[in-house]
């Protein structure tokens, strides 16, 4: 009996010992699993951080490369504008034309640039009302909406507080959620256009500086220095007419009234002719728009133009828009804007 009790006690002690060892092994396994999960998490975070840093570095490199190429376009456009050879070197020498978009491919990427005289835009202070109404019609506005913008533009510029039939004065702007005071004087910057009553429906459709200026004192639009959106407007978006304009510019440089009539067609030319001129009138103010994108070749660009490929955000072109006054060979800069296009 005593021997049996001793064996039983020994078995119980052995069982407790085994259970204790098993519990310790189970706890150790849990600890190992937790440590492995922690290591896996830290490794994943490290890989994510490395990938993020690499993407940031790539984006910075892409942006710096695109910006450098865009600056090259600005400088080349400025050089081509100032460079006035006495005679062309040979038949392959390309005649420089304002308003024409030039494209250049380098080993490091691509840039395009166009130079326009500010005479190719509508002056907000020297209002050519028929041409502005045509533009607003082209942008899809009804006649009554056109009248609101034109009258409000006149009220924005005049010094009194008496609004025209369709216009707006101080009380209109004071009632806005974020009120402001109208200029009541000459407009200083084209971007003011979108502050004028009635222009809200046009916000975001185009940049004011692509169409308007405050440096065209003639009040007429120079047909020989049209920015892309002004060319779209005058040709009513007709691709064949736009291509005819570009080809004529590359061949002849400055175009005449008769050539403009052929390009636009008699009916469209009759609608626009009172607002057009065919000389800059010695306007000294110019804009250069340049776009640069690193590591972009001609094949990829053509695929984008044909809708076969889209540019990702990291590879979007950098656009630089410069406004300056040219006095002989002296350049006075008035604005310099950089950003993604």
Q: Which of 113, 102, 25 is nearest to 73 (CA)?
A: 113
pLDDT tens by residue, 287-322: 999 999 988 888 888 877 777 666 665 567 899 999
* pLDDT beyond 70 at 83: yes
Lowest mean pLDDT among 13-17, 130-134, 322-326, 329-333: 13-17
Lowest mean pLDDT among 142-146, 231-235, 281-285: 281-285
114 alpha-carbon distance from chain centroid: 14
Average pLDDT over residues 171-179: 92
pLDDT at site 127: 85
Distance CA 299, CA 121 (A): 33
Q: Average pLDDT for residues 330-335, to the nearest whole number? A: 92
27: enclosing H helix or E strand: helix 2-82
Q: pLDDT tens digits, residue range 2-54?
A: 456 666 656 556 566 655 555 556 667 778 888 888 888 888 888 888 887 77
**pLDDT tens by residue, 58-75:** 777 788 889 999 999 999
Residue 97 predicted with pLDDT over 90: no
Lowest mean pLDDT among 83-92, 236-245, 246-255, 320-329: 83-92
The per-residue pLDDT for 11 is 58
What pLDDT does 17 receive?
60
Q: Locate the DSSP E strands across the chain.
A: 102-106, 109-117, 122-123, 212-213, 221-222, 276-277, 285-294, 318-327, 330-340
What is the H or E stretch that residue 260 is in? helix 257-264
Taking the model in full, what pTM does it have?
A: 0.75
């Amino acid at each position: 009996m005593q021997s049996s009790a001793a064996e039983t006690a020994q078995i119980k002690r052995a069982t407790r010992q085994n259970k204790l060892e098993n519990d310790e092994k189970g706890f150790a396994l849990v600890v190992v699993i937790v440590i492995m999960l922690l290591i896996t998490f830290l490794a994943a975070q490290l890989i994510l951080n490395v990938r993020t840093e690499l993407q940031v570095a790539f984006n910075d490199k892409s942006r710096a490369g695109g910006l450098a190429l865009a600056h090259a376009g600005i400088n080349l456009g400025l050089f081509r504008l100032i460079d006035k050879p006495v005679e062309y070197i040979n038949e392959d020498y390309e005649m420089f034309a304002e308003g024409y978009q030039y494209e250049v491919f380098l080993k490091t990427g691509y840039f395009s640039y166009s130079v326009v005289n500010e005479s190719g835009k509508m002056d907000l202070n020297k209002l050519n009302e028929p041409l502005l109404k045509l533009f607003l019609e082209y942008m899809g506005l009804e006649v009554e909406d056109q009248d609101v913008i034109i009258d409000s533009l006149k009220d924005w510029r005049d010094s009194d507080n008496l609004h025209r039939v369709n216009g707006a004065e101080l009380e209109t702007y004071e009632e806005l959620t974020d009120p402001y005071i109208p200029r009541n004087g000459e407009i200083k910057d084209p971007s003011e256009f979108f502050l004028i009553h009635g222009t809200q429906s046009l916000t975001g459709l185009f940049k004011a500086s692509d169409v308007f200026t405050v440096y065209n004192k003639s009040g007429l639009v120079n047909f020989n220095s049209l920015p892309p959106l002004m060319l779209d407007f005058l040709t009513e978006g007709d691709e064949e007419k736009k291509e005819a304009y570009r080809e004529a510019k590359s061949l002849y440089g400055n175009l005449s009234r008769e050539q403009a009539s052929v390009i636009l067609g008699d009916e469209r030319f009759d609608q626009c002719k009172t607002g057009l001129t065919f000389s800059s009138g010695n306007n000294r103010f110019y804009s250069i728009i340049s776009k640069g994108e690193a590591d972009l070749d001609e094949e990829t660009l053509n695929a984008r133009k044909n809708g076969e490929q889209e540019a990702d955000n990291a590879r979007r072109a950098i656009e630089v828009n410069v406004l300056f006054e040219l006095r002989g060979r002296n350049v006075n800069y008035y604005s310099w804007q950089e950003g993604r296009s």
